[in-house]
Amino acid sequence: MTIHTAFRVLGFFALLASILFGLMRVAAHQAHELDAESDFHRLGSLAGREGSTTITSRLYGIELKRGETATFELCFDDPLDPARWKDAFSVLVWGERTQTLGLNIPLDEPHLALVKRSESRSCLPLGSGEIPQDDRYVIDLYHPADTPIPEELLDVHAAARVLIRLPLGRLDAIAFFLTLLTSAFFVLTLPTMRRSGREKAPSARETVRDEARPTAKRSKEAEKETEFEADRAGEGHAARSERRAASFALGGSVFGLALIYAIFAIPRYSSLEVAGKSLLVIAVQLTVPLMLARAFQISPAALFALVRPRGDRRPVGRMVRYFAPIAAGVALSFLARQLLFWIPATGEAPITTFIAAPSGALAFALMGLLSPLAEELFFRGFVYGAFERFGTAMASLMSVVLFAALHYVQTSGSLGAFVAIALAGCLFTALRALTGSVHASVIAHFAYNAALALTAFT
């Protein structure tokens, strides 16, 4: 075992340990995340509930711990028309044991403008923040004795909702940076094979001709007949080779993408399950091409374009090989964040909903450090290489289109995020075409994802 191999083995186990530690942190956050919601109560019945007074009506109470973040909102089975609800009452959120006031929200026009409406109910966001100390926090409707809740609203039903989260902390940052360092080690030390300086292998047509080359004693008619048979055999072999290449490229790409979409269709209920699905996708992106390579007798290094980039022999070329893709990936990550503001969203993308919770944000950051290597080996290695014999334009088009199709499920509803993904695919594919290797695209993709993932801790 060489020293390089030993370091890679140690790095692999270090990466596994950091991923396991990160997933344990995801599980810890997931255990603290709670969406607590009270039953719907008629507003007219709240005055008789325990905790109500002559000027307050008790709606809900919940125990919260110091360091947690809580988001409070009220939901009603009514559209909350400002003409009916303006100044009907105020909403108080306060600590019952410590007698500390957290929120005081009047039903004025600015707050009623924040109401989120659906067909069945309307919800009014009250606010959010970090809990300063352990306490039982209650939600009361405040209405002075001389201005009770209007009678026309007493038959409306209301419920309180509290979203409880544990913010990302020091242990989460340690898990992230350990995964960042160990995965960066693999990205920057990808094994490569030397580019062959030998001439291209003879075509099937030339091989048949050489084997059937006529001797000096044969007649000119026999020589012509031999050449005709060689041409026909060579053309037939070439046609079969083209069909074989087309089936390898299209069939392998579609089959791999179909498996990934099947994994996306698996129901998920937690951040850990999403992380597990991401690991399955990574496994598919690596194993499907390897299975096809074995069937078609192609070396893994050639399949994934694990060769030295062009212009890599000089020290300056090696420096550019590392730093230029890193700079390009980081710059693109800043552009991607700006696109989210420049291009209006048509809805809420699934990935946006997922990373809203700390467990989802941490899982997204960890998987974002693992996916670049697998995605680049699949899209810029396997897919690009499989279609390259049909031209650089075809290889680039298929690589970008299939890459964007993979991420459409995550970004649907956010046009800005989808445009950013498409631009990223174009950049990574351009690096693959210019260098003839996946090294630059892997590094750029890793830098892009790492820069985006860092925002979870800033």
How is 320-343 classified by DSSP, letter by letter? HHHHHHHHHHHHHHHHHHHHHHHS
- Main-chain phi, psi angles of 351, to 5 degrees: -70, -35
Please, are residues 93 and 103 in contact by the beta-carbon 8 Å criterion? yes
The distance in angstroms from the start CA to the end CA of the chain is: 42
As a whole number of angstroms, the distance between CA 425 and CA 285 comes to: 16
Domains annotated for the chain, with CATH where assigned, are 35-165 (2.60.120), 171-200+249-457 (no CATH)
For 222, the token pair is: 């026999």
What separation in angstroms does the CA of 159 have from each of 61, 66, 104? 11, 24, 17
As a whole number of angstroms, the distance between CA 333 and CA 446 comes to: 11
Q: What is the pLDDT at residue 289?
A: 85
35, with CB counted inside 10 A (0-12, 13-18, 19+), is exposed
* pLDDT tens column, 52-101: 999 999 999 999 999 999 999 999 999 999 999 999 999 999 999 999 99
As a whole number of angstroms, the distance between CA 402 and CA 300 comes to: 21
As a whole number of angstroms, the distance between CA 362 and CA 168 comes to: 8
- Main-chain phi, psi angles of 231, to 5 degrees: -60, -45
What separation in angstroms does the CA of 101 have from each of 11, 37, 70, 205? 52, 21, 14, 87
Please, are residues 450 and 327 in contact by the beta-carbon 8 Å criterion? no
Q: What is the pLDDT at residue 343?
A: 84
Token match 């096809």: residue? 292
Q: What is the pLDDT at residue 328?
A: 93
* pLDDT tens column, 370-401: 999 999 999 999 899 888 888 899 999 999 99
Token match 């580019």: residue? 195
Q: What is the pLDDT at residue 134?
A: 95
**Number of other residues whose CB lies within 10 A of the CB of residue 295:** 10
Instruction: Give the CA radius of gyration of the chain.
Output: 31
Q: Which amino acid is at 450?
A: A
Half-sphere exposure of 406 (CA within 13 A, CB side): 28
Dihedral (C-alpha) 318, 324, 325, 327: value to the nearest 10 degrees? 140
Q: What is the pLDDT at residue 6?
A: 83
pLDDT 10s per residue in the chain (458 long)? 678 778 888 888 999 999 999 999 999 999 989 999 999 999 999 988 999 999 999 999 999 999 999 999 999 999 999 999 999 999 999 999 999 999 999 999 999 999 999 888 999 999 999 999 999 999 999 998 778 899 999 999 999 999 999 999 999 999 999 999 999 998 887 776 665 543 343 343 443 444 444 444 445 555 555 554 444 444 454 445 555 656 666 777 777 788 888 887 777 678 999 999 999 999 999 888 888 878 777 777 877 888 777 765 665 556 667 788 999 999 999 999 898 888 877 777 788 888 889 999 999 999 999 999 999 999 999 899 888 888 899 999 999 999 998 888 888 778 888 899 999 999 999 999 998 889 999 999 999 999 999 987 76
Q: What is the pLDDT at residue 189?
A: 79
Q: What is the pLDDT at residue 194?
A: 60
DSSP helix/strand/coil, 256: helix
**Which residue, 281, 402, 409, 401, is CA-closest to 354?**
409
Please, are residues 107 and 185 in contact by the beta-carbon 8 Å criterion? no
Q: What is the pLDDT at residue 3?
A: 80
Q: What is the pLDDT at residue 207?
A: 39
**Which residue, 282, 206, 254, is CA-closest to 383?**
254
Q: Which amino acid is at 330?
A: V
Which residues have a Cβ under 8 Å from the Cβ of 312 and sit 6 or more positions away?
318, 321
Taking every pair of Cα atoms in the chain, the longest distance, rounded to a whole number of angstroms, is 124
Q: Which amino acid is at 280?
A: L
